[in-house]
Structure 1
Amino acid sequence: MARSDDQSVAAELGINPETLRNWVRAAGASRPRGRRTQEPAQPPTSREAESAALRKKVCELEEEREILRKAAKHFRGLRRGVAGSWLRPADRGLRAAQPR
């Protein structure tokens, strides 16, 4: 990515341009240097296209699973009383006081 591209993408995402640059560097992407001497790549075959689509779907599903795992952990903490005073005693697994 060119410098102005970094800044415009970062602004669109609402993050610091340096953060975006660090993410790109960590992902192993680099800026092209000089002229490209390679010939244009052949269009992907149907198997390659299907494989790419499946890899993309796997990434999406893994991300969704991670979000759900974090949400479950958060709500499990609420039910254990970490911030669960809003739960009724019966919902917290406690017995309500018996009238005398």
Structure 2
Amino acid sequence: MGKTRKPYPPEFRRQMVELVRTGRTPESQAREFEPTAESIRNWVKQADRDEGRREDGLTSPEREELRRLRRENRQLKIEREILAKAAAWFARETDSVPPKSSSS
């Protein structure tokens, strides 16, 4: 497994993207700077998506929203499971089992 490092600052990534757009290749930048050519190419693709030049993926705001919604969905599933277990426990404690709802 490769080494992990802190993400490059957004300003640094913007500068790398601008250098590619002015004609420098990602490979030449990778030799001169630390990020790999593949990372630089990915930054260019993402910048193109964010600026509307490409439509083959999610923009950064869309990606962040998707991440947030997945996190929220995961939390809601956990909460629903807890509530279902609590309802079952209370039903057993009171010796009355409520009719199963068809909406769940």
Fold-level similarity (TM above 0.5): no
Structure number with the higher helix fraction is 2
Question: Normalising by structure 1, what TM-score?
Answer: 0.42
